[in-house]
Structure 1
Amino acid sequence: MLTAVLSIGAAGLLVYAALHDLAARTVPNWLPLTLLALGFCARLADHTLFTGLAVAGGAFFVLFIVWLLGAMGGGDVKLWAATALLIPPLLQPELAFFLRVVVFGGILALFYLSLGFVVHKPQGLKTGGLLRRLLRAEAWRISRRASLPYACAIAGSAIVTLLPLSFQR
């Protein structure tokens, strides 16, 4: 029961992280820290804390190297590693989570690449409501081939992996 409650809370935070990354291309530092705390509690509850910390630490190490190479943002690295602690440290769920992040990220990249052919740099006045301004900013990012909101892939993968595991008996 505790794991299910923690998973639902984590899912809400992951949705927020994805939306924040979509709007601002950043992940606030408090989000991975909060997810790390939830993961710590979940792993403590199911007695897999040491293994979970080893998996999350290994993920952070590998992703940190990817960040050093400039292929991923720092917020995405922290979010992915913290989310890895939320997933039970069993081979199948962890591998499924990591594979889903890569696949969802690839789909996201293809989506943004295809949008580059139809969305053009916005012209005209910079007025309008919040949604209109967000769409203009996104159109500008697409036209300039700016960074991807990779937290969307991480969050989607974690939710698809985590929630079914949380409600199994």
Structure 2
Amino acid sequence: MPTDTLLALAAGMALLAAALHDVAARTIPNRLCLGIALAGLLGQALEGRLPWALAAALLVFLLALLAWRLGGLGGGDVKLLAACALLVPPGAVPGLVLATALAGGVLALGMLGLRPLVPLPAGPRPTGLLARVLRAEAWRIRRRGPLPYGVAIALGTFFTLIQPQ
């Protein structure tokens, strides 16, 4: 299997794990962001675009950091978005940010639309992981909890990666 395919597969699995972890716990583990960033760095180095990719990812990090400071993003989202900026060609980074923002908007609209349909959790706490995650998500939807923006970042990244360059 070619190196770029292996890197894309590893990064995709880490990105999926980050999105799922964000849904379950509203956190994104640093090790997943680091793995995605390392895969992106290696891929950019193999393509000979490392300096431009680092500059683009730094700009994304600084803008996302500003959004965090203003309360619009979580800290894990900032790190994940900057790491994902290393996965795409530097010229595709604006498209990544736009695709992520659009995915975030769809996610927010979906959560708003679900609010009147999802009942407040009742009864004993479930013991299975999936049942506990679904119960917690129902509680977050009804209580206007934070969005799992790692899902939007993952969707925006996947969409950007499948676009012809």
Which TM class, normalised by the smaller chain length? over 0.9
The answer on 1:112 being equivalent to 2:121 is no
Secondary structure at the aligned position of 1:86 is classed as coil
Structure 2's unaligned 5+ residue stretches are none
Give matches, 1:30-69, under 5 Å: 30-69=31-70
Report the CA distance between 1:89 and its aligned residue.
1.0
Choose 7-16 or 100-109, whichever is displaced more: 7-16
Contact 1:56–1:84 (CA<8 Å) still a contact in 2?
Answer: yes
Q: Give the letter aligned to residue 7 of structure 2.
A: L
Q: How many corresponding residue pairs?
A: 164
CA RMSD of aligned residues (A): 1.4
The answer on 1:145 being equivalent to 2:138 is no
Report the CA distance between 1:163 and its aligned residue.
4.1
Report the CA distance between 1:130 and its aligned residue.
2.6
Aligned to 2:121: 122
Sequence identity (%): 45
Task: Give the whole-Å Cα distance in 2 for the aligned partners of 1:78 and 1:17.
Answer: 11
Aligned to 2:10: 9
Contact 1:7–1:163 (CA<8 Å) still a contact in 2?
Answer: no
Task: Give the whole-Å Cα distance in 1 for the aligned partners of 2:151 and 2:112.
Answer: 16
Task: Give the whole-Å Cα distance in 1 for the aligned partners of 2:26 and 2:56.
Answer: 26
Task: Give the whole-Å Cα distance in 2 for the aligned partners of 1:67 and 1:80.
Answer: 12
Contact 1:43–1:86 (CA<8 Å) still a contact in 2?
Answer: yes
Bigger RCO (CA 8 Å, 6+ sep): 1
Runs of 4+ that moved beyond 3 A: none
Q: Give the letter aligned to residue 10 of structure 1.
A: A
